Protein backbone atom coordinates (compact mmCIF):
# COMPACT_ATOMS: atom_id res chain seq x y z
CA UNK A 1 0.00 0.00 0.00
CA UNK A 2 1.24 3.50 -0.82
CA UNK A 3 0.85 6.37 1.62
CA UNK A 4 1.22 9.98 0.54
CA UNK A 5 3.01 12.21 3.04
CA UNK A 6 3.10 15.99 3.38
CA UNK A 7 5.26 18.25 5.50
CA UNK A 8 2.41 18.32 8.03
CA UNK A 9 2.41 14.53 8.64
CA UNK A 10 5.95 13.34 7.98
CA UNK A 11 7.12 11.91 11.35
CA UNK A 12 6.84 8.25 10.29
CA UNK A 13 8.48 9.02 6.95
CA UNK A 14 11.42 10.79 8.60
CA UNK A 15 11.82 8.00 11.17
CA UNK A 16 12.14 5.44 8.36
CA UNK A 17 14.68 7.55 6.47
CA UNK A 18 16.78 8.09 9.61
CA UNK A 19 16.77 4.37 10.51
CA UNK A 20 17.45 3.04 7.00
CA UNK A 21 21.08 2.05 6.29
CA UNK A 22 21.05 4.06 3.04
CA UNK A 23 18.95 6.89 4.49
CA UNK A 24 20.15 10.35 3.50
CA UNK A 25 19.38 13.81 4.90
CA UNK A 26 18.27 14.97 1.45
CA UNK A 27 15.36 12.51 1.68
CA UNK A 28 14.11 13.97 4.97
CA UNK A 29 11.34 16.52 5.22
CA UNK A 30 13.75 19.06 6.73
CA UNK A 31 15.54 19.21 3.37
CA UNK A 32 12.21 19.94 1.69
CA UNK A 33 11.53 22.76 4.12
CA UNK A 34 14.79 24.52 3.27
CA UNK A 35 14.54 24.16 -0.53
CA UNK A 36 12.89 27.46 -1.41
CA UNK A 37 10.95 27.37 -4.67
CA UNK A 38 10.46 23.60 -4.48
CA UNK A 39 7.47 21.63 -3.20
CA UNK A 40 8.07 18.55 -1.04
CA UNK A 41 5.97 15.37 -1.14
CA UNK A 42 6.73 11.98 0.37
CA UNK A 43 5.61 8.53 -0.76
CA UNK A 44 5.86 5.42 1.42
CA UNK A 45 5.29 1.77 0.58
CA UNK A 46 3.79 0.12 3.66
CA UNK A 47 3.18 -3.61 4.12
CA UNK A 48 0.02 -5.21 5.56
CA UNK A 49 1.37 -4.82 9.12
CA UNK A 50 1.97 -1.10 8.65
CA UNK A 51 5.76 -1.39 8.37
CA UNK A 52 7.41 0.99 5.93
CA UNK A 53 9.35 -0.97 3.29
CA UNK A 54 10.40 1.82 0.91
CA UNK A 55 10.08 5.59 0.76
CA UNK A 56 10.85 8.47 -1.55
CA UNK A 57 10.82 12.22 -1.06
CA UNK A 58 9.95 14.11 -4.21
CA UNK A 59 10.91 17.72 -4.73
CA UNK A 60 9.13 19.49 -7.56
CA UNK A 61 9.09 22.88 -9.17
CA UNK A 62 7.42 24.44 -12.14
CA UNK A 63 9.47 24.92 -15.28
CA UNK A 64 9.49 28.64 -16.07
CA UNK A 65 7.10 29.64 -18.84
CA UNK A 66 5.28 26.28 -18.89
CA UNK A 67 2.71 24.31 -16.95
CA UNK A 68 5.15 21.42 -16.60
CA UNK A 69 6.86 20.33 -13.40
CA UNK A 70 10.27 18.77 -12.81
CA UNK A 71 10.38 16.10 -10.08
CA UNK A 72 13.56 15.08 -8.28
CA UNK A 73 14.22 12.45 -5.60
CA UNK A 74 17.61 13.52 -4.23
CA UNK A 75 19.52 10.46 -2.96
CA UNK A 76 16.34 8.45 -3.20
CA UNK A 77 14.43 6.29 -3.18
CA UNK A 78 15.33 4.60 0.11
CA UNK A 79 14.46 0.90 0.19
CA UNK A 80 15.42 -2.53 1.47
CA UNK A 81 17.94 -3.82 -1.08
CA UNK A 82 16.35 -7.26 -1.49
CA UNK A 83 12.73 -6.13 -1.49
CA UNK A 84 12.17 -5.46 -5.18
CA UNK A 85 8.40 -5.86 -4.75
CA UNK A 86 8.22 -2.84 -2.42
CA UNK A 87 10.52 -0.85 -4.68
CA UNK A 88 8.39 -1.73 -7.71
CA UNK A 89 5.24 -0.60 -5.92
CA UNK A 90 6.92 2.66 -4.89
CA UNK A 91 8.31 3.38 -8.36
CA UNK A 92 4.95 2.68 -10.00
CA UNK A 93 3.23 5.04 -7.55
CA UNK A 94 5.90 7.72 -8.05
CA UNK A 95 5.58 7.57 -11.83
CA UNK A 96 1.79 7.89 -11.56
CA UNK A 97 2.11 10.76 -9.06
CA UNK A 98 4.49 12.62 -11.39
CA UNK A 99 2.17 12.15 -14.41
CA UNK A 100 -0.92 13.17 -12.41
CA UNK A 101 0.80 16.35 -11.22
CA UNK A 102 2.03 17.69 -14.54
CA UNK A 103 5.51 16.23 -14.35
CA UNK A 104 7.57 15.67 -17.45
CA UNK A 105 10.61 14.16 -15.74
CA UNK A 106 11.38 12.15 -12.61
CA UNK A 107 15.06 12.20 -11.76
CA UNK A 108 16.44 9.98 -9.00
CA UNK A 109 19.92 9.37 -7.69
CA UNK A 110 19.77 6.50 -5.21
CA UNK A 111 22.96 5.33 -3.57
CA UNK A 112 23.66 2.06 -5.38
CA UNK A 113 27.02 0.31 -5.11
CA UNK A 114 28.83 0.05 -8.45
CA UNK A 115 28.55 -3.73 -8.83
CA UNK A 116 24.79 -4.04 -8.31
CA UNK A 117 23.93 -4.63 -11.97
CA UNK A 118 20.77 -6.61 -11.14
CA UNK A 119 19.31 -3.59 -9.35
CA UNK A 120 20.37 -1.26 -12.15
CA UNK A 121 18.63 -3.50 -14.71
CA UNK A 122 15.55 -3.53 -12.47
CA UNK A 123 15.45 0.29 -12.51
CA UNK A 124 15.88 0.28 -16.28
CA UNK A 125 12.84 -2.01 -16.57
CA UNK A 126 10.79 0.94 -15.18
CA UNK A 127 12.05 3.21 -17.95
CA UNK A 128 14.82 4.90 -16.00
CA UNK A 129 18.13 5.58 -17.71
CA UNK A 130 21.11 4.64 -15.61
CA UNK A 131 24.22 6.79 -15.82
CA UNK A 132 27.52 6.43 -13.99
- pLDDT at residue 132 tops 80: no
> What is the DSSP secondary structure assignment for residue 85, as one 8-state letter?
H
Tens-place pLDDT, residues 78-116: 999 889 999 999 999 999 999 999 999 999 999 888 888
Q: Are 44 and 5 in contact (CB under 8 A)?
A: yes
- Whether the pTM exceeds 0.85: the reply is yes
Beta carbons of 57 and 27 less than 8 angstroms apart = yes
User: Residues 42, 56: contact at Cβ < 8 Å?
Assistant: yes
**Rounded to whole angstroms, what are the CA distances from 121 to 90, 117, 118?**
16, 6, 5
pLDDT in tens, 34-85: 998 999 999 999 999 999 999 999 999 999 999 999 999 999 999 998 899 9
Phi-psi sector, 15: left (phi>0), alpha (psi -120 to 50), beta: alpha
Residue 73 pairs in a beta bridge with: 108
CB 27 within 8 A of CB 56: yes
Amino acid sequence: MIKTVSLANCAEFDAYICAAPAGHFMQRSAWGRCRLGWQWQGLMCVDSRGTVRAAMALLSRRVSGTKLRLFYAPRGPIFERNNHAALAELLTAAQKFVRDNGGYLLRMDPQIPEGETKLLRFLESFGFRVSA
